[in-house]
A and B are shown apart, each in its own frame.
Chain A
């Protein structure tokens, strides 16, 4: 946690309500997201107990598994889940726009532009907590290798038709959620705590009810008290008023209410199967009781989830969120294409090259997210400025200069007064966004004296260094964070603009800041790129397991073995 966040948390403690960490919303929120609130059976990870699912906040669909150990009931649950989620996922697949993309022509080896489809929007799944994200992934893993009777008539326990397909989609969403800044699958706790600092710790923020209590406490109740109530207040039956956001249940609920109801259900089921008079009526009754119980645990979380969505919607969306959402749309479109092309489900384990690619992509996405958030949001930028990764200030002087190349290029020197303390060394690359949204690069050229005589040490040295460009670091310039101005409250930094001024000898109008402008330079890149390309899977080096074994049997992942008493 950075110091500025810590400070915000302390302000929240003092104020008794959460304090903003951002001024805009950094996550995309769909117009019509699908909310999914799952519950699982304690001790049997992956054996669902129930779920509320749907796009209409007032009419969620309740699905339960009355006896989680019963395979048929579990399959029925998964089939219903697929019935609810799959049409939603598919509904975005057909509205497409055409995008141009460069692809390598297999015959000529040249890069040629091709038209490809990109879905105009993508379905978005919302879950209450980060544990919910993990559960989506787990569900996907448990479903995608199932075989339906159509695929394999021999399979001992055929799964309902849509189950394996939904498994692949949930796997894709779970995998995508690991990419920083992606929004196909969002958890409310993660999104809310990105935008607000509560007066409690990160660990306590994992509780959706308690997090909401801090962000939007009831009138006249301090956040800490409201959060405590959310955590521990119980009704007359001993049920938590704000049950855990799942998928784990409250143990007290399990022991006091769920277990007895489940044994009543089991007993009624046995009776019904033996044809005892009134058995089937009792079975219906017992099932209705279980539905009521499970809904009582799900509904508060469902409502809390939508309340969280409302809170997030009060924030205006950040300018670069749509850019990142476009990547999510690409991801959705890509998976749609793979499914339509009849590719097999995702493998259990990635091969070395795929794993390395995923890792590199996530690192790039993280760097990009960090840069985007800072550029979109002065409050996030304030954190980067405090950390010495950016500085902002007023332009107090601009001096035109040109490079010594055969065709001289404009290299104006801009002096900025700032109170920030960036970690600068000579010729450090700097980046900023101009008023009309274009990127401009620069480099640090030295400190300037604030008392009039500008660029005391910057310009001359720097000009010499310019000649030596490309011959490695200019020596002897040493620590740029010189003693002059290091202690003063404000100081002046000289930046030499190196790009973003057009092609001519004279910079294009509006590309060079003027005296009196406020500018913000960052030390980090705005559009970070990934590392070098990775080899093809066929040329995986032996250090990473070597090329895939072509002699191995065709890559058809085996379904998980079924045991007599398996759970899921």
Chain B
């Protein structure tokens, strides 16, 4: 699971289906394909190439450029990093666990060294609904004062100092996940031991436990984008405190995966039973559908851009007539109604005397239906012909 998926999961913490499938590492894209509801997802190779070449350009010359950009944006009046002032520790190790451990070690060493350091593609882990997820930020910079900044490199342009707010928002949510994971690392490393006294160290660790938000991981991330229409990098600090709080709360809210799994019928599996060449699923669609339906989803139209399974969930949600299929905000005014049929019945089949029912949602719906019908009946030129004709 990458940070983008995690941010999406955190945006819809009530979706048990997604939590389970992501937690179990199921390939949702393949599953959706097998269910006959493939998502129009995927990244264009042009975008991919452009992203990679831009990132390589930004990180060229040992990150000096990147750290210079960061220093400029900080505007804290400190000395600019001189040539060769940026350390770039080697982070290669085998396996995600190994890389995570290596990253933690490198972070600790760089923090103690009290100088600028750039960690290129470090790996950090985060506990998601009871199972670890490994995340790979574009870069993390360690400042001489021992604080850390997450660097997010994106290939959408910043034109005249402003970028597409939707994309910046997505980048901020993604960076917040990295920041959260880094905070865990920070609390594990604990305070640099000064006195060497065991009791003091324990106390320090205790302090770190109680206040993991001690300013070690900065809550401003550096967003690096191409400037205007060139491929020169420019950067802005983005405050992610809000996204951080949201993500932290949502991740805490996630039902633990074991609990979801425990509620499943015995023997539920999402195995596609691929053919020997690994291409075609042989498992009957009905069986798969039943397996997927065994765990609840919380579909909302926002899922369509973030979850591979969304097309399937949408079909199910529409078939059940759930009002959320029309948008998350729709529920707000509908009181206790959850299905389209119930709403329409309540709105249209009111008694003739229009006596208030005591349920404000029902009264408002009837009023809305009556007003709408009245206005539609007043269309002289359209009332005479059927709707179908009016559209053609």
Residues of A contacting B318 with CB < 8 Å?
13, 224
Given contacts A6-B330, A232-B40, A251-B42, contact A311 B391 (CB under 8 A): yes
Among residues of B, the one whose C-beta sits closest to the C-beta of A255 is B45
Known: A43-B51, A200-B301, A251-B41. 10 other contacts (CB 8 A): A3-B333, A11-B344, A13-B318, A42-B50, A203-B302, A232-B38, A232-B40, A386-B367, A386-B368, A566-B229
Cα A386 to Cα B366 with chains together (Å): 11
Closest approach, in angstroms, between the C-beta of A224 and any C-beta of chain B? Answer: 6
- Considering residues A3, A8, A9, A348, which has the most beta carbons from chain B within 10 angstroms of its beta carbon? A3
Q: Which of A82-90, A374-382, A546-554 is near enough to bind chain B?
A: A374-382
CB < 8 Å neighbour of A8 from B329, B340, B355, B372: B372
Closest approach, in angstroms, between the C-beta of A313 and any C-beta of chain B? Answer: 11
Among residues of A, the one whose C-beta sits closest to the C-beta of B342 is A10
- Interface residues in B336-358 by Cβ distance below 8 A to A read 340-341, 343-344, 347, 353-356
Among residues of A, the one whose C-beta sits closest to the C-beta of B37 is A232
Q: Which of B17-25, B134-142, B379-387 is near enough to bind chain A?
A: B379-387
Given contacts A201-B301, A311-B391, contact A138 B46 (CB under 8 A): no
Cα A45 to Cα B343 with chains together (Å): 43
CB < 8 Å neighbour of A204 from B45, B161, B304, B365: B304
Whether the Cβ atoms of A563 and B231 lie closer than 8 Å is yes
Cα A223 to Cα B375 with chains together (Å): 24
Whether the Cβ atoms of A43 and B304 lie closer than 8 Å is no
CB < 8 Å neighbour of B375 from A202, A314, A382: A382
Cα A10 to Cα B333 with chains together (Å): 14
Whether the Cβ atoms of A7 and B229 lie closer than 8 Å is no
Among residues of A, the one whose C-beta sits closest to the C-beta of B363 is A421
Cα A14 to Cα B301 with chains together (Å): 19
Whether the Cβ atoms of A314 and B391 lie closer than 8 Å is yes
CB < 8 Å neighbour of A6 from B228, B232, B326: B326
Among residues of A, the one whose C-beta sits closest to the C-beta of B228 is A560
Residues of B contacting A161 with CB < 8 Å?
none
Among residues of A, the one whose C-beta sits closest to the C-beta of B369 is A7
Residues of A contacting B353 with CB < 8 Å?
489
Cα A19 to Cα B229 with chains together (Å): 43
Whether the Cβ atoms of B340 and A10 lie closer than 8 Å is yes
- Interface residues in A1-47 by Cβ distance below 8 A to B read 1, 3-4, 6-11, 13-14, 17-20, 23, 41-46
Among residues of B, the one whose C-beta sits closest to the C-beta of A385 is B371
Q: Does A459 contact B (CB under 8 A)?
A: no
Whether the Cβ atoms of A379 and B326 lie closer than 8 Å is no
Q: Which of B102-110, B151-159, B172-180 is near enough to bind chain A?
A: B151-159
CB-defined A-B contacts under 8 Å, sample of 20: A7-B369, A8-B372, A10-B326, A14-B340, A20-B382, A23-B382, A42-B46, A42-B47, A43-B49, A43-B51, A45-B157, A200-B301, A200-B326, A204-B304, A216-B391, A314-B390, A382-B374, A383-B371, A386-B371, A565-B231
Whether the Cβ atoms of A201 and B325 lie closer than 8 Å is yes
List the count of A-B residue pairs having beta carbons below 8 Å apart: 169
Closest approach, in angstroms, between the C-beta of B54 and any C-beta of chain A? Answer: 9
Whether the Cβ atoms of B46 and A142 lie closer than 8 Å is no
Contact with A along B166-185 (1 / 0, CB 8 A): 00000000000000000000
Whether the Cβ atoms of B371 and A43 lie closer than 8 Å is no
- Interface residues in B9-61 by Cβ distance below 8 A to A read 38, 40-51
Q: Does A453 contact B (CB under 8 A)?
A: no
Closest approach, in angstroms, between the C-beta of B64 and any C-beta of chain A? Answer: 19
**Nearest 5 CB-CB pairs, A to B?**
A43-B47, A42-B44, A201-B301, A43-B50, A254-B44
Given contacts A23-B379, A251-B43, A385-B371, contact A348 B50 (CB under 8 A): no
Whether the Cβ atoms of A204 and B301 lie closer than 8 Å is yes
Whether the Cβ atoms of B40 and A44 lie closer than 8 Å is no
Q: Does A349 contact B (CB under 8 A)?
A: yes
Whether the Cβ atoms of A13 and B340 lie closer than 8 Å is yes
Cα A565 to Cα B341 with chains together (Å): 58
Whether the Cβ atoms of A316 and B229 lie closer than 8 Å is no
Given contacts A10-B343, A42-B44, A42-B46, contact A379 B229 (CB under 8 A): no
Whether the Cβ atoms of B391 and A203 lie closer than 8 Å is no
Whether the Cβ atoms of A7 and B304 lie closer than 8 Å is no
Interface size on A, residues (CB 8 A): 70
Q: Does A524 contact B (CB under 8 A)?
A: no
Q: Does A561 contact B (CB under 8 A)?
A: yes
CB < 8 Å neighbour of B46 from A13, A134, A259: A259
Residues of A contacting B156 with CB < 8 Å?
45
Whether the Cβ atoms of B51 and A7 lie closer than 8 Å is no
Cα A18 to Cα B391 with chains together (Å): 10
Residues of B contacting A224 with CB < 8 Å?
318
Cα A9 to Cα B344 with chains together (Å): 11
Residues of B contacting A240 with CB < 8 Å?
40
Given contacts A6-B333, A17-B387, contact A382 B371 (CB under 8 A): yes
- Considering residues A10, A14, A20, which has the most beta carbons from chain B within 10 angstroms of its beta carbon? A10
Cα A233 to Cα B159 with chains together (Å): 36
Closest approach, in angstroms, between the C-beta of B337 and any C-beta of chain A? Answer: 10
CB < 8 Å neighbour of B230 from A10, A231, A381, A566: A566
Q: Does B78 contact A (CB under 8 A)?
A: no
Among residues of A, the one whose C-beta sits closest to the C-beta of B167 is A45
Closest approach, in angstroms, between the C-beta of B65 and any C-beta of chain A? Answer: 14
Cα A489 to Cα B38 with chains together (Å): 51
Whether the Cβ atoms of B344 and A14 lie closer than 8 Å is yes
Residues of A contacting B44 with CB < 8 Å?
42-43, 249, 251, 254-255
Q: Does A487 contact B (CB under 8 A)?
A: yes
Residues of B contacting A142 with CB < 8 Å?
229
Residues of A contacting B371 with CB < 8 Å?
4, 382-383, 385-386
Residues of A contacting B347 with CB < 8 Å?
7
Q: Does B94 contact A (CB under 8 A)?
A: no
Q: Does B334 contact A (CB under 8 A)?
A: yes
Residues of B contacting A252 with CB < 8 Å?
40, 42
Given contacts A17-B387, A255-B42, contact A7 B230 (CB under 8 A): no
Closest approach, in angstroms, between the C-beta of A326 and any C-beta of chain B? Answer: 25
CB < 8 Å neighbour of A379 from B50, B155, B159, B375: B375
Whether the Cβ atoms of A216 and B160 lie closer than 8 Å is no
Contact with B along A346-390 (1 / 0, CB 8 A): 001100000000000000000000000000011101110110000
Residues of B contacting A200 with CB < 8 Å?
301, 325-326
Whether the Cβ atoms of B159 and A7 lie closer than 8 Å is no
Whether the Cβ atoms of A7 and B326 lie closer than 8 Å is no
Whether the Cβ atoms of B231 and A567 lie closer than 8 Å is yes
Residues of B contacting A378 with CB < 8 Å?
374-375, 378
Among residues of B, the one whose C-beta sits closest to the C-beta of A244 is B40
- Considering residues B157, B325, B375, which has the most beta carbons from chain A within 10 angstroms of its beta carbon? B375
Residues of B contacting A382 with CB < 8 Å?
371-372, 374-375
- Interface residues in A249-301 by Cβ distance below 8 A to B read 249-252, 254-255, 259
Q: Does B284 contact A (CB under 8 A)?
A: no
Whether the Cβ atoms of B333 and A41 lie closer than 8 Å is no
Contact with B along A526-568 (1 / 0, CB 8 A): 0000000000000000000000000000000000111101111
Closest approach, in angstroms, between the C-beta of B161 and any C-beta of chain A? Answer: 7
Q: Does B85 contact A (CB under 8 A)?
A: no
Residues of B contacting A421 with CB < 8 Å?
367
Q: Does A324 contact B (CB under 8 A)?
A: no
Residues of B contacting A413 with CB < 8 Å?
none
Q: Does B129 contact A (CB under 8 A)?
A: no
Cα A200 to Cα B334 with chains together (Å): 17
Given contacts A6-B330, A204-B304, A379-B376, contact A43 B46 (CB under 8 A): yes
Whether the Cβ atoms of A563 and B365 lie closer than 8 Å is no
Cα A383 to Cα B391 with chains together (Å): 23
Closest approach, in angstroms, between the C-beta of B342 and any C-beta of chain A? Answer: 10
- Interface residues in A199-258 by Cβ distance below 8 A to B read 199-204, 215-216, 224, 231-232, 240, 249-252, 254-255
Given contacts A23-B376, A386-B367, contact A10 B229 (CB under 8 A): no
Among residues of B, the one whose C-beta sits closest to the C-beta of A565 is B231
Whether the Cβ atoms of A216 and B229 lie closer than 8 Å is no
Among residues of A, the one whose C-beta sits closest to the C-beta of B380 is A23
Residues of B contacting A432 with CB < 8 Å?
none
